[in-house]
Structure 1
Amino acid sequence: MQYNQAVDWWSFGILLYEMLVGQSPFNGTDEDELLWNLLERTPEKRLGTSTCAHGDVTLHKFFNGVNWNDVESLRVKPPFVPILEHPKDTSNFDAEFTEAEAVLTPIDKNITDSIDNELFRGFSYTNPNMTD
């Protein structure tokens, strides 16, 4: 399956919806049903691409006035920049989240041992225990 910038727009849309509404825009009785309801398998039909019937997402009226060259060149200043006391300052987040206990999902050691770390060579982070 091929991926393109439509995946980024799709993810952005999901994140924006969940932040504004407080819940997922999708329903499903299980993960498989949810994924089948979510994904458009044909890249040319994905919302937001130039080949989509609705056109390129950057041409939508919501984005009127956006200079995409400036966005791409990182020349757009964010409307809000939090003031941080130190790198781990969480004062801009609700205490409901910062005071919650972290609960990690246990991972089967057989799965992690079977991962070929060579697949990730060249990424900005790789397992420091990986042998060359």
Structure 2
Amino acid sequence: MHNPLSSYLADYSVDWWALGVLMFEMLAGRSPFDIVGAADNPDQNTEDYLFQVILEKTIRIPRSLSVKAASILKGFLNKNPKERLGCHPGTGFTDITSHPFYRSIDWELLEQKHITPPYKPPLKSERDLEHFDKQFTDEPVILTPDDTKTINKIDQSEFDGFEYINPLLMSSEDCV
């Protein structure tokens, strides 16, 4: 089956689109492709229908967002990859870094990691999970069982130079 999104150019345009989707979700608190009532209609609860919505429906930016936020979302979520923010030949990344939404960022200091994050959660240890929802941290760990047939087909020579090779896959003369 043909994926309608495969027509996007094999460049950064899809990455800027994905950033726009992520930013929309973070700023608006929902997906830009929310389909009201779709769960009740099996025909509208498919991947193909979602692709159709992404390609054809207009993305509505909430009025509660700032003008700068709305502008950058419209730029990143432009359905035409050639017109999308960040995709103009020669000026792509500069178009993003100079956008009013990002104007307060010193990109050189950011690249050198000299900017303190606006919020750094206090951690009691490296494995402190206090800032994660219990819904996720209380889930039991369930490992997917290994498929022995698949593992036996793996060419271990692809891992030459790695420090670890699964001892279960080594022959007796390869044992360390």
Shorter-normalised TM-score: what interval?
0.5 to 0.7
Deviation for aligned residue 1:89: 0.7
Q: Contact (CA 8 Å) 1:48, 1:58: kept in 2 or not?
A: no
- Matches of 1:114 and 1:45, distance apart in 2: 46
Deviation for aligned residue 1:72: 2.2
- Matches of 2:16 and 2:157, distance apart in 1: 29
1:19 aligns with 2:26: yes
- Matches of 2:143 and 2:49, distance apart in 1: 25
**Structure 2 SS opposite 1:26:** coil
Measured at CA, do residues 15 and 43 of structure 1 come closer, stay the same or move farther in structure 2, by a change above 3 Å? closer
- Structure with more contact order per residue of length (Cα contacts < 8 Å, sep ≥ 6): 2
Q: Contact (CA 8 Å) 1:18, 1:24: kept in 2 or not?
A: yes
Decide which structure has greater helix share.
Answer: 2
- Which letter does structure 2 place at the counterpart of 1:26? F
Q: Which runs of 5+ in 2 are unaligned?
A: 1-8, 35-43, 56-76, 171-176
- Which letter does structure 2 place at the counterpart of 1:3? D
**Structure 1 SS opposite 2:23:** helix
1:48 aligns with 2:64: no
Runs of 4 or more off by more than 4 Å in structure 1? 38-43, 101-119, 128-131
- Matches of 2:95 and 2:157, distance apart in 1: 36
Question: Of 108, 122, 126, which aligns to 1:69?
Answer: 108
- Matches of 2:154 and 2:79, distance apart in 1: 26
Deviation for aligned residue 1:10: 2.8
Measured at CA, do residues 67 and 115 of structure 1 come closer, stay the same or move farther in structure 2, by a change above 3 Å? farther
Q: Contact (CA 8 Å) 1:49, 1:57: kept in 2 or not?
A: no
Deviation for aligned residue 1:74: 2.1
Q: What is the TM-score with the length of structure 1 in the denominator?
A: 0.58
Deviation for aligned residue 1:63: 1.0
Deviates further, 42-51 or 12-21: 42-51
Deviates further, 109-118 or 97-106: 109-118
- 1:94 corresponding residue in structure 2: 133
- 1:34 corresponding residue in structure 2: 50
- Cα shift readout 1:41-88 (whole Å, capped 9, x = no counterpart): 975333332349xx8222221112211222222222211112211221
Q: Contact (CA 8 Å) 1:90, 1:98: kept in 2 or not?
A: yes
- 2:119 corresponding residue in structure 1: 80
- Matches of 1:79 and 1:9, distance apart in 2: 23
Deviates further, 82-91 or 29-38: 29-38
- State the Cα RMSD in Å: 4.6
- Matches of 1:83 and 1:61, distance apart in 2: 31
